[in-house]
């Protein structure tokens, strides 16, 4: 079922409004003239680590260590990510190296 023209216009307008709201609301709620609340600073410190942990769990949720290849591509990619990050402290380099390792392991080795 396709949208009518008015429905499409309303949908686009609502998406634009939602995008603008999420972009400008923080500046309206927390202006530069006032100090940032403590709970917002706290969330800014802990949420990146929480999200990273959540993404790792999400990515590894379907890995089976009881069936071949026994999670070896994922383990190798995690090891390369950790080693590259400890070595160079560059997130982009770590992710690219881990992704390349995983893809080579899956496409060529296993």
Nearest 10 degrees: Cα torsion 45, 47, 51, 52: 10
How many domains does the chain fold into?
3
One domain, residues 72 and 110: yes
Mark whether 85 and 46 lie in a shared domain. no
Q: How many Cβ atoms sit within 10 Å of the Cβ of residue 22?
A: 9
pTM, two decimal places:
0.64
Q: Which structural domain range is residue 86 located in? A: 65-110
Map tokens 């949720």 to a residue: 61
Q: Are residues 8 and 42 in the same domain?
A: no
What's the pLDDT tens digit per position in 47-96?
A: 999 999 999 999 999 999 898 889 999 999 999 999 999 999 999 999 99
Helix axis angle for 72-88 and 91-104, nearest 10°, is 160
Tell whether 101 and 70 lie within a shared domain.
yes
71 and 102 fall within a common domain: yes
């Amino acid at each position: 079922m396709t949208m009518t023209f008015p429905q499409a216009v309303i949908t686009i307008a609502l998406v634009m409004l939602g995008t603008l709201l999420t972009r400008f609301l923080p500046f309206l709620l927390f202006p530069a003239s006032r100090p940032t609340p403590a709970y917002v600073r706290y969330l800014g410190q802990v949420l990146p680590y929480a999200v990273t942990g959540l993404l790792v769990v999400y990515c590894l949720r379907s890995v089976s260590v009881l069936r071949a290849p026994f999670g070896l591509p994922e383990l190798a990619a995690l090891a390369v990510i950790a080693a590259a990050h400890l070595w160079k402290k560059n997130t982009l380099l770590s992710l690219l190296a881990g992704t390349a390792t995983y893809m080579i392991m899956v496409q060529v080795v296993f």
